[in-house]
Amino acid sequence: MLSIDSAHLNEQFETVFSAIPERSFFAPGRINLIGEHTDYNGGHVFPCAITFGTYGLVRKREDELIRVYSLNFEDVGIISFPLTDGTYDAQHDWANYVKGVVALLRADGHAVGGFDFLLAGNIPNGAGLSSSASLELVTALMINEVYGLGLERIALVHLGQRVENDFIGVNSGIMDQFAIGMGKADHAILLDCDTLHHDYAPIKLDGYDILIMNTNKRRELADSKYNERRTECDTALGLLQQHFDVASLGQLSVETFETVADELPETLRKRARHAISENERTKLAFNALEDGRLDAFGQLMNDSHASLKSDYEVTGRELDTLVAATQSCDGVIGSRMTGAGFGGCAIAIVDKTATEAVMQTVSTVYEAEIGYAPTFYIASVGDGARELVEEEVK
């Protein structure tokens, strides 16, 4: 994982762009404690921002040229495009996220100028901790501040989602951008994705670690079955609306759903059951964590993974192996996949005295079953996207 410090970033900016950066920004990644594939179904999620993320150093230009460079993709070099180029270009690779922010801001009538932008992220590659939303938010915040657009934070959150949906072509919900834009240190966010009503819950895990476990399986969200799952849920909702006056699956209870569940085709029934039951689990998990009932919280995590495996079918061999191995270890309160699935990461709540042993056991089991090792990270819960003072870059 890339090591990041202020001096290195400033030196790299000067080397790449032959100039000194003017301002620095940061947007975190996120983990979702529970509430998976509920955001686009109008349900609840329970994410938090983490201290891994994307750093961006910028200098305004006097012309209309945009130049971007990533220390994570140095072999790609500087990617340049004019301010007026508002089209997706596969050759521009990761820079399309930056281009999408610029294009949508300009389409909305905002005055944006050229800039040189150096980026560096320490979110593990392919981990499903929302590196794309982190890149969207660090870009949106940077442009908002540098060009004095005066947009409120929630507008930047919506902008990031629009980039993902309309420019990149991934039909994702708003959870990732919301958690990254609105994160608060040592708190998780219970977010109603239908109304955007949200409550912060202090994460009181005294004596426990949040363990992130990367499958190290390559995953491409845009090429996965993510959009297929969303279409299946939309189809299931249409059938359920013949029985109930609801605008989203998140407005149904499990009890109500089960009265007509048998009338849905099997696949649609399973998809809807997950979305509806996961929404209920998420609200229960918020209450459990707020009350300090960690055992109840952990069981809800375990139940969440089982539903994602059996009803939503987005886990796969790698995630299932990680989670099963983790759940079998002493000191583990609960474990589940986090993110879209199809690879990426799982998380676990682990007694600090058992963390090292858990990592060793899980690594041994996973490598024997899968053929290569997972990677582990201890998560710290941090603040959302922000401009940095120099001492914050470390």
Q: What percent of the chain has pLDDT over 90?
A: 84
Taking every pair of Cα atoms in the chain, the longest distance, rounded to a whole number of angstroms, is: 67
Give 31's pLDDT tier (boundaries 50, 70, 90): very high
Helices (DSSP H) in 219-265: which residue ranges?
A: 226-240, 254-258
Helices (DSSP H) in 329-376: which residue ranges?
A: 355-370
CA dihedral 318→320→322→325, nearest 10 degrees, is -140
pLDDT at residue 1 in the model = 46
Cα 383 to Cα 158: distance, rounded to the nearest angstrom: 18
Asked whether 272 and 237 are in contact (CB, 8 A), the reply is yes
129 is in an annotated binding site: yes
pLDDT at residue 145 in the model = 98
Q: Quick one: average pLDDT of 94-102?
A: 97
pLDDT at residue 344 in the model = 86
The predicted-structure confidence for 201-253, as pLDDT tens digits, reads as follows 988 888 999 999 999 987 655 456 888 999 999 999 999 999 999 999 999 99
Helices (DSSP H) in 291-333: which residue ranges?
A: 294-310, 316-327
pLDDT at residue 343 in the model = 85
pLDDT at residue 126 in the model = 63
CATH architecture label of 204-378: 2-Layer Sandwich (3.30)
394 pLDDT above the threshold of 90: no
SS3 128: coil
6 is in an annotated binding site: no
126 is in an annotated binding site: yes
90 is in an annotated binding site: no
pLDDT at residue 224 in the model = 63
Cα 53 to Cα 310: distance, rounded to the nearest angstrom: 32
Q: Quick one: average pLDDT of 56-71?
A: 97
235 is in an annotated binding site: no
36 is in an annotated binding site: yes
pLDDT at residue 222 in the model = 40
pLDDT at residue 3 in the model = 57
Cα 336 to Cα 10: distance, rounded to the nearest angstrom: 39
The predicted-structure confidence for 327-341, as pLDDT tens digits, reads as follows 999 999 999 999 888
Cα 336 to Cα 371: distance, rounded to the nearest angstrom: 21
Q: Quick one: average pLDDT of 104-132?
A: 90
Burial class (CB within 10 angstroms; exposed 0-12, middle 13-18, buried 19+) of 331: middle
Cα 102 to Cα 85: distance, rounded to the nearest angstrom: 9
Measured CA to CA in angstroms, residue 102 lies from 80, 143, 195 at distances of 13, 8, 27
23 pLDDT above the threshold of 90: yes
3 is in an annotated binding site: no
196 pLDDT above the threshold of 80: yes
Q: What is the mean pLDDT of the chain?
A: 93
Q: Quick one: average pLDDT of 94-114?
A: 97
Q: What percent of the chain has pLDDT over 70?
A: 95
192 is in an annotated binding site: no
Measured CA to CA in angstroms, residue 186 lies from 142, 183, 206, 365, 366 at distances of 24, 9, 12, 32, 30
Cα 289 to Cα 292: distance, rounded to the nearest angstrom: 5
6 pLDDT above the threshold of 80: yes
pLDDT at residue 390 in the model = 62
Considering 116, 176, 192, 194, which one is annotated as catalytic?
176
65 is in an annotated binding site: no
200 is in an annotated binding site: no
pLDDT at residue 220 in the model = 56
Q: Quick one: average pLDDT of 20-30?
A: 96
Looking at per-residue confidence, does 39 or 238 come out higher? 238
171 token code pair:
């039909």
CATH architecture label of 6-201+382-392: 2-Layer Sandwich (3.30)
- The residues, ordered by sequence, that sit 6+ positions from 322 with a Cβ below 8 Å of its Cβ are 213, 215, 335, 346, 362, 366, 374
- The residues, ordered by sequence, that sit 6+ positions from 309 with a Cβ below 8 Å of its Cβ are 315, 320
pLDDT at residue 66 in the model = 98
Measured CA to CA in angstroms, residue 108 lies from 82, 128, 149, 158, 166 at distances of 18, 30, 11, 13, 14
Asked whether 79 and 162 are in contact (CB, 8 A), the reply is no
Asked whether 81 and 92 are in contact (CB, 8 A), the reply is yes
Cα 76 to Cα 69: distance, rounded to the nearest angstrom: 8
Taking the domains of the chain in order of start, what are their residue ranges?
A: 6-201+382-392, 204-378
Cα 143 to Cα 343: distance, rounded to the nearest angstrom: 33
- The residues, ordered by sequence, that sit 6+ positions from 165 with a Cβ below 8 Å of its Cβ are 171, 172
Tally of CA atoms within 13 A in the half-sphere of 86 that contains its CB? 12
Q: Quick one: average pLDDT of 338-364?
A: 94
Closest CA to 19 of 58, 55, 56, 54: 58
130 is in an annotated binding site: yes
Looking at per-residue confidence, does 391 or 297 come out higher? 297
pLDDT at residue 342 in the model = 84
383 is catalytic: no
- The residues, ordered by sequence, that sit 6+ positions from 66 with a Cβ below 8 Å of its Cβ are 80, 81, 82, 83, 98, 99, 102, 114, 115, 117
Give 151's pLDDT tier (boundaries 50, 70, 90): very high
Q: Quick one: average pLDDT of 55-82?
A: 96
Q: Quick one: average pLDDT of 115-130?
A: 85
Closest CA to 52 of 141, 153, 128, 162: 128
